[in-house]
Structure 1
Amino acid sequence: MSNNQLNITEPDLALIDDYITGKLTLPEKESFEQRLQSDPEWKSKVEEIKLLSLGIREAALRQKLDTFHQVQPGKIRPISWLKKLSVAAVLIGLIGLCCWWLFLKPSADEKLYADFYKPDAGLATEMSVSENYNFERAMVDYKTGKYSAAIDSWKKLLPLNPGNDTLNYFIGSAYLANKDGASAIGYFNDVLKTGRTAFSSEALWYKGLALIRLGKKDEAIEAISSSGHPQKAALLHKLKE
């Protein structure tokens, strides 16, 4: 059974595992247990993960015992195919969980980024027949999650007005939403080069988030400190912990 079947996110799974294995600090443990008392759905998720962990350990132990009995003279015991398949299925699940933990578990930087990142909502569009039609058509792509299409369209407009802060900002936003922080930073920097504009504060905020994901903590703090985003103080506190 996967964490998707249990409807448990990867950050939740990591937090529950830290609780089960005793890795939480005392304040974190107290907060976790308060949530257990007040949130029945959360309690149910924790119990499911506990049962899954117990089942994995028991299956591994049974496999060891079965192997032991098979190699002891005079103590050979038949093992049904169903039992073999059941143990194999559980062990495969354990291997998958370990692989996720070792190779796919989000880093601390990625978790912090995910906690604070929310794509820019974009601008209202009228889709009128005007010189802004192509820009607005690309905005529709952006707002519907077609980030690559939006980038392609906006980049075609950029040579006509390379210093346009609106174009640069939304190309950067689309790159960041498309999980390309390195490219996004270049366009946010182009916004900031034009001086104080309507997009300066947000460009600094999203540049800082992109830098967090790239592991450039000091540069991220500098950018975020200069932004006017309402979550600035909370994010800076996390970065400086």
Structure 2
Amino acid sequence: MIEEEKILKYLRGLMSESEQLEFESRLSNNKELEEFVEHSRRIMQIVDSDTQAFGQVVRSVINTKKENKSWSPIWIAASILMIISFASYYLFVPTPTLNQLVENYLEPYPDVVTNRSDEQKPDLTSYNRGEYQEAIDVLQYSLDNNQLVVSLYLGVSYLMINENEQALEILNSVPFEDTQFEDDFLWYQSLALIRIGNANEARNRLEKLNRGSSNYKSKSSILLDNLRE
């Protein structure tokens, strides 16, 4: 059975980070599902451009069947069912705005340092409790030690309390290119830039993420599509 709701959530960027990682893991191991998701993406693009274009979509499904003999009647039925699902989705679930997507996507960067044996690791106790103002006070005293890592958590902490300009200042203050955290810095910078209305700079960073193979690739693609509208 095709999981229409999960595919819709994935294509609309409404999955949590854990849901997205799990779904993309399935895609990488299931060529048939991957092809169907891409086909659904094309359907969604047509529906996005013209909500009355269902006849055109159905014809495209039939033409695809003619061109691709391997498609079974079940695939055709599933594709048409997906069209109906998109129609219902648009009728009852408003498409999230760019700002809503940013808020959905903004999650604190996971703690990857506490369990390390590094003596200079930052204290993330307050950060892990979601007490970001207190975390900021603690992390500021640790900037001289392991500046790259501390700047990432400090910048994210500012983002979590909606101090976007301060977040950008911190995230731009250290050279992060060609480090293991490069994609993470680009991602959180992008969210902060969208929040303050700097679409061009956000787009530049998202395009870098979209060209690579980072965990942010799918969400970056969705944000880019919204920035172009």
Identity of aligned residues (%): 27
1:220 counterpart letter in structure 2: A
Please say if 1:186 is aligned against 2:173. Answer: no
What residue is the counterpart of 1:62 in the other structure?
none
Please say if 1:201 is aligned against 2:174. Answer: no
Instruction: Give 3-state SS (helix, strand or coil) of 2:114's partner.
Output: coil
What residue is the counterpart of 1:148 in the other structure?
133
What residue is the counterpart of 1:82 in the other structure?
none
* Residue of 190, 199, 202 corresponding to 1:217: 199
Choose 218-227 or 112-121, whichever is displaced more.
112-121
Please say if 1:165 is aligned against 2:148. Answer: yes
CA distance, structure 1, for counterparts of residue 98 and residue 87 of structure 2: 25
What residue is the counterpart of 1:26 in the other structure?
51
CA distance, structure 2, for counterparts of residue 34 and residue 109 of structure 1: 21
* Residue of 96, 102, 105 corresponding to 1:113: 102
* Residue of 221, 229, 233 corresponding to 2:221: 233
Q: Rg larger in 1 or in 2?
A: 1
What residue is the counterpart of 2:32 in the other structure?
none
Normalization by structure 1: what TM-score? 0.50
Deviation at 1:140, TM superposition (A): 2.0
Higher RCO, 1 vs 2 (CA within 8 Å, ≥6 residues apart)? 2
Normalization by structure 2: what TM-score? 0.53
Asked whether the 8 Å contact 2:194–2:202 carries over to 1, the reply is yes
Pick closer, same or farther for the CA change 1:164–1:234 going to 2, 3 Å: same
CA distance, structure 2, for counterparts of residue 119 and residue 176 of structure 1: 9
Residue by residue, what CA displacement relative to the aligned partner does 1:104-126 show, whole Å, maximum 9, x if unpaired?
Answer: xxx94422312332221222524
Pick closer, same or farther for the CA change 1:126–1:118 going to 2, 3 Å: closer
Q: Which aligned runs of 4 or more in structure 1 are off by greater than 4 angstroms?
A: 30-33
CA distance, structure 2, for counterparts of residue 111 and residue 218 of structure 1: 19
Residue by residue, what CA displacement relative to the aligned partner does 1:18-44 show, whole Å, maximum 9, x if unpaired?
Answer: xxxxxxx736xx76752499xxxx79x
Pick closer, same or farther for the CA change 1:233–1:154 going to 2, 3 Å: same
Instruction: Give 3-state SS (helix, strand or coil) of 1:234's partner.
Output: helix
What residue is the counterpart of 1:122 in the other structure?
111
Instruction: Give 3-state SS (helix, strand or coil) of 2:158's partner.
Output: helix
Asked whether the 8 Å contact 1:109–1:213 carries over to 2, the reply is no
Pick closer, same or farther for the CA change 1:154–1:36 going to 2, 3 Å: closer
CA distance, structure 1, for counterparts of residue 101 and residue 185 of structure 2: 18
Deviation at 1:180, TM superposition (A): 1.0
Pick closer, same or farther for the CA change 1:31–1:215 going to 2, 3 Å: farther
What residue is the counterpart of 1:85 in the other structure?
none
CA distance, structure 1, for counterparts of residue 87 and residue 206 of structure 2: 33
Asked whether the 8 Å contact 1:207–1:220 carries over to 2, the reply is yes
2:161 counterpart letter in structure 1: N
Structure 1: any 5+ residue segments left out of the alignment? Answer: 1-24, 44-106
Pick closer, same or farther for the CA change 1:196–1:112 going to 2, 3 Å: same
Aligned length: 145
Residue by residue, what CA displacement relative to the aligned partner does 1:109-164 show, whole Å, maximum 9, x if unpaired?
Answer: 42231233222122252498x8347x23xx12111101111111110111x34x72
What residue is the counterpart of 1:88 in the other structure?
none
The RMSD of aligned alpha carbons is 3.5
